[in-house]
Structure 1
Amino acid sequence: MFLASSAKPIDESLQNLVVEIETQNPDLLVVAARQLRYSLQQTNIELTITEPRPFNVLEEFIIRAGIEFEPAPTPQELASLLGLDPVFVQSTIKNLQKLQTLAPKSPITVTEQGRLFYDKGAVPQPPYAVQIYAIADSLGETVNFQAEPLNEVVINLPSLTSILQLNESNNLISTFNLEQVQKNLQASGLGLHVPETGKIVTAFRSIGSTQTIWRKISLFLIFDSTTEKLTIHLRRGKQMLDSRSKWLDLLLSEGKISLDTLCKLPNESLNFEREAAKKYQNAETAARLEKIHQQALGNSQKKEVIQLRDREINQKFLEIINTAKQQIIIYATWLNHLNINPEFIAALEALAKRGVSIIISYGLEWEPENLLEIKEKLQAIKTPEDLPSVQLLGLEEDVYLQEIIIDREIYQCGFYHWRNSHESHIPLGELVYQVKKSQIIQEAYEILSTRCQNYAQKLWQQAVEKCDIQLARECLCIWGTLGKLETSLNQIQKNNWLELLPIYLNVVIHNLKSHNLADDSPILQSSLLLLSQVEAEAAFIEQLRLAYCQLLSAIAQQNPDTALNLLNNEVWAQFLRLHIAAETDSPTEFISQQTSQPKTKRKAAAPSTRNKKTKA
């Protein structure tokens, strides 16, 4: 078992939280934990705010002329056109310039702010000032705004930022421009910058000096026995500070952090903890297999757990994968242990045609010289939607247990190897178990699927950092196979990576057609509502139009009424805006087209010219 928390460098105030972490996450070992303090920089700032009022007829005409006339008129030309005294027109223009609706030059030029107000039928009122507080976090280059100041608290703890040799006195707000302030104000929820209502912050300035405020923070050094990696977790209370924890992990990986200084943990102690955790991991794996073995011995009547030997292993392996209806998850220490021969490849190709999703994961990269050829054969197997049917995951772990789970109904596991002999694979006599007992299968599925999810999450982080759409595509396919479509959608939204939507929708369509996703699943409505965030001029719009048509077609083929219910007023408005449907269509007609022509590619509706702007 893991060492007791009391035997490790852990602050007394964090003992209970350490016990909670290790209890809730059996694969995690808290190696060290300590409380520190970090600084916040508080600055009083003054905002200049404008709000709208309805414009009068002359103001409206002047602004409209600046927007629609080409070339824009001079004040004299506009006065002549309106038949008004030039002094009267010039006076109104000067007032609009003071309100920053018009630029201070001739001919008449409407500012960006002026256009924003014009769209709302208004002009700004004279500006007024509001004082608030900007709170800059010394750990993460972020600024939050709040109406009331923070209270000073005396905290006699070492400073994390001093240990990391960061500049605690850096006044981050002084580096911000107006656009950054506006963006952060919107996130603060103070209601001071609300462009959609015309309430706009037009300027800001600092008042007085910046004040340092101290707060407590908890630092945990954690060893994960499933990956054999150390990570640093920062918490404010029980709240995990993900972005800052990843930042410290990066510093740790680059050798820029001394664990002795940061965690009061000498290398000798760390190595001891690592070995203890590794032994625990191996013991856990062995105990799981021993439990299955004991149930096999006392289970001869029910046949819920049976033993397989020698040539039975490969025979039963092929038998159970051919029974799959929805999902297969496989783990092998080395990829070639799976006996990937032509018969196995043919079986996987047949499964792909039936819509079965497959994950093949392996722990170690030490492989035969034909590894690349094996990978290419597996990755060449495609679904009817031209997605990879086999997801290949290199988990970088030395768990010496071969496992396969079929539809969460059949489980095979054991330690066994294969030997090549004249192009044939011969099992060497190791023992393998085949299980149909739900409790054992569920436990094994949770372990395997968690490993796969962790792999996908790390791969996704790489994809986001590198803006690598191919890596992102792999993640979406893995999550789709694991039934984590909501995770995929949340990550696309969180990272505003709408370019991935066509790929994501193809994964959804595959799950629908293979009956891994119900046609009334809430994820379908969520996928449709995301349309409101897509620009009509997006580079991927054609693929997206086709994907949404195919999605509705896949649903309509199973249940036309369900498909029609998804096209509520909000979704239908987006279908028309993005020309997924023609303006002459109704939702009923659109669904009818999907059911009557299921194999025909429906062209995206041509953009309408009805609402194109004409020059005045």
Structure 2
Amino acid sequence: MFLTSSAKPIDQELRESVDKIERQSPSLSVLAARSFRYRVTQAVVQVTISESRKFNILEEFLLRAGIELQPPPTEDELAAILGLDSIFIRSTTANLQGLNILTAASNYQIQITAQGREFYNIGSLPQEPKTKEIFAIFDPLTENILFDYSPLSNLKIGNIPDLTEAININNIFNFSSVSIEELQQLVKNSNLGLHIPDEGNLVTSCGVVASEILYQKISIFIIFDSIENQIKLEARRGNKIIQDASSVLNRIVGESQVLLQSLFELTDEEIRYQCEEILRHKNVEVENRIENIRKQVRENALLASQKQQSSDSETKNFESGTAVQLRGSKISQELEKILDSANSQILIYSPWISRKVVNNEFIKRLQKLAEKGVWIIIGHGISKSEEAEERPIPPQVEEQLRAIRTREGLPAVQIFWLGGSHAKEVIVDQKVHLLGSNNLLSYRADWRLWDESVYKVTLPEQVKEAYEFYAKRFQAKAKQLWSQAIQNRDTTLATEAICLCGSLSLEESALKIIQQYSWLELYPIWLHMVSQGLRSKQISPSSAYFPVALSLLSQISSDAAYIESVREAWKKVIGRIAYLSQDTALKLVNDSWAEFTYLSITQQSIRSPAQFISKYIMARQ
């Protein structure tokens, strides 16, 4: 039986969080969510910190004299050179000797020690060590040690399950076993400002004063991702995801399914059944759309019969927003016609893709569309995992599709395995929708196949519903690509994410990510992506993100490795904006003229924004 939300093992206090997760990411379904308590070790520790300070002018002069002058001068000689009373020199040398920076010489010469040379090279002096009490917390679930100035509170958690009864974790930790090197790194990572080697602050020792065991609370969610067709555990405190704890839990689950049974009273069979039902339910959504369209077709046919419409009037009625059924060879003919009519976007889902349809002629058709500003998004797959596909996309076909480029050289076709669906659908410019039983990218229908049918729909509500269904799946894929790209600082994945954002009209989201992570190497790629949208007029020249994009020029150096790409990209972008609206282009350039000049986006011979606009305005392409 497919469990409703109320029947799932979800704690009442977590239902709002569950609703939020599923609302924000339609591909995610929460199978269970419960809160647990577990024990952590907290210790009061005393750390010793060695600090240092910058040399003052006199100290630096004394050390420099001891290093560079041969033979080294005496205290009295330095006093005479500087015109100071000898008492000031002797007081300073005595202080430096006490810190083992200088050594006492019988002839009062300035003699620097080996340690003194090291400190001179880094420009600082050691100070008297200090001690400070802080709190060390060992969290066995995250396997981390954290240091803080404030202690954890022993929460009054109430009667909730103890996580340690289901998971064998060691909640006792011996802080004295931590080496000084490990200690220094842990304190540094805790951002307490105690161990900062570059500033001369070093933690040199640590001793435990007292320790205790405390209870903490954590919420664990079992989440099924229908796009990836996988289950994951997510640990949270409030709305914050605890990544380290999530990783530990997923590792344990990977080793044994017993954890899910003991924590949530769900068997492996029950979980598998729930996942299958979720996937089936998502396919039912597609079938329901088809049934609604069949109903509309029947209503149109009845209306046509009643009014005795001619074929010409039928066509007119269809174009105003109806649905018609296609069979046989008309399917392929209409597919080609609709693809060729695209102005900005083509979205396709097909369980299979074959050379029979995606042949050289089809590739040339898509390349021609890409050159006029059209993005193409393709999802494919019917199995629950990509490895389980019996008819995977031929590598040569996928390679040809990925080789289709925009005029700026970006991938114009975004193709992804999504899986778990037998839908066959094409949506063009969010205005025309083809769907039905014919495998549009794997079989070319002809006049003999009257058992195959496709509906051509221009009903705004139905087209919008279909588009939003797939757009959410591709948006989830874009989010996944960004996550992987950011984690590995992978420019190739980031480029793929930017192009997918462009194809889904998410240009602003992509720009925000570039800003957030200061990944300016992606800046010219974003500009090239925007050029494609301007070419198709999908992007408005007055879009609010253009001034934001221009503001990033102040963060770019004139000798950046990617500066030439930035220069050429802005010339094209401004040219395309100027073609659509010269006033808008003039204002954008005028507001950023200083940056255009500094970064040599404009040439020295061009003395005004108006001249720049007139030079780079592009004719309609």
Same fold (TM over 0.5): yes
Q: CA deviation at 1:510?
A: 4.1
> Identity of counterpart residues, as a percentage?
31
The 2-side partners of 1:554 and 1:261 are apart by: 61
Match of 2:233 in 1: 232
Cα pair distance change 1:61/1:75, threshold 3 Å: farther
Deviations 1:96-126 (A, max 9, x none): 79899999637755568648xxxxxxx9997
Q: Where do 1:457-476 residues align within 5 Å?
A: 457-463=479-485, 468-476=490-498
Aligned to 2:582: none
Matched, 1:451 2:473: yes
Q: Verify: 1:389 aligned to 2:406, yes or no.
A: no
Q: How far apart in 1 are the matches of 2:267 and 2:502? A: 43
Whether the 8 Å contact between 2:148 and 2:190 is mirrored in structure 1 is no
Residue pairs, 1:163-178, within 5 angstroms: 163-170=166-173, 174=178, 176-178=182-184
Distance 1:469 1:144, change over 3 A: same
Residues 551-582 of structure 1, C-alpha deviation per residue, up to 9 Å, x if partnerless?
332343231430342467xx68xx96xxx449
Once residues 435 and 536 of structure 2 are traced to their aligned partners in structure 1, the CA distance between those partners, rounded to angstroms, is 27
**Alignment-derived partner of residue 118 in structure 1:** none
Q: Paired residue for 2:362?
A: 344
For residues 527-566 of structure 1, the aligned pairs below 5 Å read 527=549, 541-542=560-561, 544-557=562-575, 558=578, 559-566=585-592
Partner of 1:139: 141
Name the structure 2 match of 1:359: 377
Q: Distance in 2 between matches of 1:343 and 1:244?
A: 52
Question: Runs of 5+ in structure 2 lacking a partner?
Answer: 103-111, 304-313, 579-584
Residues 431 and 463, structure 2, Cα contact 8 Å, conserved in 1: yes
For residues 309-368 of structure 1, the C-alpha deviation after alignment (integer angstroms, 9 at most, x for no partner) is: 122222222222222222222111112399323432222111111122211121246476
| Structure 1 length-normalised TM | 0.74
Alignment of 1:219-368 (within 5 A): 219-242=220-243, 244-245=245-246, 248-249=249-250, 251-253=252-254, 255=256, 258-299=259-300, 302-303=317-318, 304-310=321-327, 311-336=329-354, 339-364=357-382, 366=389
Alpha-carbon distance change, 245 to 404 in structure 1, aligned in 2, over 3 angstroms = farther
In 2, the alpha carbon distance for the partners of 1:494 and 1:141 equals 29
User: How many angstroms does 1:167 deviate by?
Assistant: 2.7
Contact 2:425 2:435 (C-alpha < 8 Å) held by counterparts: yes
| Distance across 2 between alignment mates of 1:100 and 1:384 | 68
Name the structure 1 match of 2:187: 181
Residue pair 2:345, 2:429 contacting (<8 A) in 1 also: yes
Q: Specify the SS of the correspondent of 1:31.
A: strand
Tell me the equivalent position of 1:120.
none
Count of residue pairs the alignment pairs up? 566
Given that 1:30 and 1:222 are in contact with CA atoms closer than 8 Å, whether structure 2 keeps it comes out as yes
Amino acid of the residue matched to residue 325 of structure 2? L
Preserved contact between residue 49 and residue 130 of structure 1 (Cα < 8 Å): no
Q: Aligned-pair distance for 1:467?
A: 5.8
Amino acid at match of 1:436: T
- Answer whether contact 1:171 1:210 (CA < 8 A) is retained: no
Bigger shift: residues 480-489 or 585-594: 585-594
TM-score, scaled to structure 2: 0.74
The answer on whether the counterparts of 2:371 and 2:406 sit within 8 Å (CA) in structure 1 is: yes
In the alignment, residue 426 of structure 1 is paired with which amino acid?
D
C-alpha separation between the residues in 2 aligned to 1:498 and 1:357?
24
In the TM superposition, residue 506 of structure 1 has moved relative to its aligned partner by 3.5
In structure 1, stretches of 5+ residues that fail to align are: 116-122, 187-191, 600-616
Alpha-carbon contact 2:322-2:457 (below 8 Å) kept: yes
Aligned AA (1:565): D
Is the radius of gyration larger for structure 1 or structure 2? 2
Please say if residues 28 and 222 of structure 1, whose CA atoms lie closer than 8 Å, have aligned partners that are also in contact. Answer: yes
Shift of 1:248: 3.4
How far off its partner does 1:402 sit? 1.4
Q: Tell me by how many angstroms 1:250 deviates.
A: 5.0
Aligned partner of 2:150 in structure 1 is 148
**2: CA distance between counterparts of 1:315 and 1:16?**
49
Closer, same or farther: CA 376–20 of 1 in aligned 2, 3 Å: closer
- 2:407 counterpart of 1:378: no
CA contact (8 A) 1:72 1:108 kept: no
SS at match of 2:151: coil
Could you say if the C-alpha distance between residues 596 and 274 of structure 1 is closer, same or farther in structure 2, counting changes exceeding 3 Å?
closer
Q: What letter corresponds to residue 507 of structure 1 in structure 2?
A: M
Instruction: Identify which range, 350-359 or 338-347, moves more after superposition.
Output: 338-347
Distance 2:554 2:131 in 1: 35
- The answer to whether the 8 A contact 2:141-2:245 is kept is yes
How many Å apart are 1:212 and its aligned residue? 3.4
Q: 92, 109, 114: which one pairs with 1:105?
A: 114
Could you say what secondary structure the match of 1:151 adopts?
Answer: coil
Which deviates more from structure 2 when the two are superposed, residues 556-565 or residues 82-91? 82-91
Aligned AA (1:484)? L
Task: Say which of 446, 449, 464 aligns to 1:426.
Answer: 446
- Whole-Å Cα distance in 2 between the matches of residues 230 and 25 of structure 1? 15
Distance 1:550 1:172 in 2: 58
Give, in whole Å, the separation in 2 of the partners of 1:382 and 1:566.
30
Q: Is the 8 A contact 1:337 1:418 kept in 2?
A: no
* Cα separation, partners in 2 of 1:469 and 1:126, compared to 1, 3 Å: same
Does 1:400 find its partner at 2:426? no
